[in-house]
Amino acid sequence: MALTMLNELLIEDPNPPMLLYQVSKTAQLDTLNYQSCFMQGVFAHFPEILFIHRTYNPMGKVLYTFLVDGPRVQLEGHLARAVYFAIPAKEDAEGLAQMFQVFKKFNPAWERVCTILVDPHFLPLPTLAMEFPAAEVLLSAFHICKFLQGKFYQLSLGQPVERVLLTSLQSTMCSATAGNLRKLYTLLSSCIPPTQLPELHSHWLLNDRIWLAHRWRSRAESSRYFQSLEVTTRVLSQFFGTTPCVEQGMVSLLRYMHQNSGDKASFSLGLSLQNNHAALDISPESPKVEQLVEARIQHSLNAICTGPAAQLCLGELAVVQKSVHLIGSGSEKVNIQILEDTHRVQPQPPASCSCYFHQAFHLPCRHILAILSAHHQVLQPDMLPAQWTAGCAASLDNILGSKWSETLDKHLAVALLTEEVGQLLQHCSQEEFERRYSTLRELADSWIGPYEQVQL
């Protein structure tokens, strides 16, 4: 039935794509290669840098997604940079060689591939080098970042150290200069126990060739780049990575692309892809559930909050709708990361979060709203301070004028930094404490003067 649905997708497409698949003796999908005419055209225009991402499903089958990368690629939209999907029979030299050969057969521009970006666990490098002899194979900055993030959580380093490492990693990835990479390398060496440090492969940070392929991006471009790949890989995981049936996963993914992809957009050489499709919808079983939950949250905001509070929170909810990413959960607290710094959330009333928005306004922030959305819940009155309940405020200008100021901005920044430094000092060794205290002592004296002792 799933293969019949795959063929129906071909019939629905006015420009039929290339779809090759083999079925095993048990009627299971053995191999698959897919590329639409639009995807083929994108690769023909931007073949220089190829980004390969792998997604495993519960049955052990792996989906290879080929994406274009590099300075010339200015494509917007989910999966807009995807140019090829393939499922090899086996992830061995023979199976991958066959997959790459099919790709090359339908894409003559493969000879212009100069660089191929892969993840740290990509083992069949000899096969890749043999099939693309002129291309340089490098680890991708995105996959290194995801690898390090995962290791930070696995090592159970404690919240203060974990927060510092994640913040430093995010900052370094957005400005991957040699100096910043060296600082992150030194930070890892000082924060990670020596017995666990080899697991992080921190020497990758000092391999300048890896980062030259990423360093050309500005800080803003790097942030957008990581966010785009985060959403892309999340879509792939939702459709293919969570579905035991390979055929059904591919049908759902291809139908999503058929409905939302850049095939419906205008594309020409030298111009950016104009992709104005609707908000992300990645639930293959019930595509309207997320929209229904978010609509209920919006209704509860408008019903419970004052107009200004609802306006502020709806802005936070808009971010959640585009880029929420659940990191992990516990019995009482949940870590939420929305393609930014990780924050600690207390979902039980009165809800609280360590982020800047909540500390300033004491309103449900994007992280609290993400919790509500993930649990299919709505805002409750006891989650709001009294001054934000309906009928208590006049206008957004009045609220901002009374609640926000440059002094408050500085106070919050200093308070957050003080708390973080205090946590680090409490959890370090005596020798490390003396060294850090001495550094703070010198800094305080240099700011205020050598004759006035400042209590730290």
Written as tens digits, the pLDDT of the chain (456 aa) is 555 656 665 555 556 566 676 666 566 777 888 888 888 889 999 999 999 999 998 888 899 999 999 888 877 777 889 999 999 988 888 999 999 999 999 999 999 999 999 999 888 788 999 999 999 999 999 999 999 988 888 887 778 888 889 889 988 998 888 999 999 999 999 888 888 889 999 999 999 888 988 888 888 888 888 888 988 898 898 888 887 888 888 888 888 877 765 444 434 333 333 333 333 333 444 444 556 666 777 777 777 777 667 767 777 777 666 554 444 444 445 545 444 556 678 777 778 887 767 777 778 888 888 888 777 777 777 777 776 776 554 444 444 444 445 665 566 667 667 767 777 777 778 888 888 888 887 777 777 655 445 454
Enter the tokens of residue 363. 């309103």
- What's the CA gap between 311 and 305, in Å, rounded? 9
CA distances from 367 to 66, 79, 168, 266, 343 (A): 32, 25, 20, 35, 8
C-alpha–C-alpha distance, residues 246 and 57, integer Å: 7
The answer to whether the Cα torsion of 76, 81, 85, 90 is positive or negative is negative
- Look at residue 65 in the predicted model and tell me its pLDDT: 95
SS3 22: strand
- Residue 399's alpha-carbon distances to 152, 282, 299, 360, in angstroms, are 39, 37, 21, 12
Pairing of strands 115-118, 136-139: parallel
Residue 147 is predicted with a pLDDT of 92
DSSP string, 98-118: HHHHHHHHH-GGGGG--EEEE
**Burial code of 82-103, b = ≥16 C-beta within 10 A, e = fewer?**
bbbbbbbbebeeebbbbbbebb
Domain boundaries, the chain: 1-139+217-260, 287-388, 396-441
Residues facing 138 on adjacent strands? 117
User: Coil, helix or strand for 352?
Assistant: strand
**Residue 115, phi then psi, degrees to nearest 5:** -140, 140
CA pair distance 203, 343, nearest whole angstrom: 28
Cα–Cα distance between 326 and 341 in angstroms, integer? Answer: 13
Q: Is the dihedral of CA 344, 345, 346, 349 positive or negative?
A: positive
Contact 91, 124 (CB under 8 A): yes
Beta strands in 94-180 (DSSP E): 115-118, 136-139
Rounded alpha-carbon distances, angstroms, from residue 294 to 134, 298, 377: 49, 6, 9
Q: What pLDDT score does 118 carry?
A: 94
Do 114 and 134 form a contact (C-beta atoms < 8 A)? yes
Q: Distance (Å, rounded) from C-alpha 54 to C-alpha 236?
A: 9
CATH topology of domain 1-139+217-260: Nucleotidyltransferase; domain 5 (3.30.420)
**Structure confidence at residue 397 (pLDDT):** 47
The pLDDT assigned to 322 comes to 53
Q: pTM here?
A: 0.58
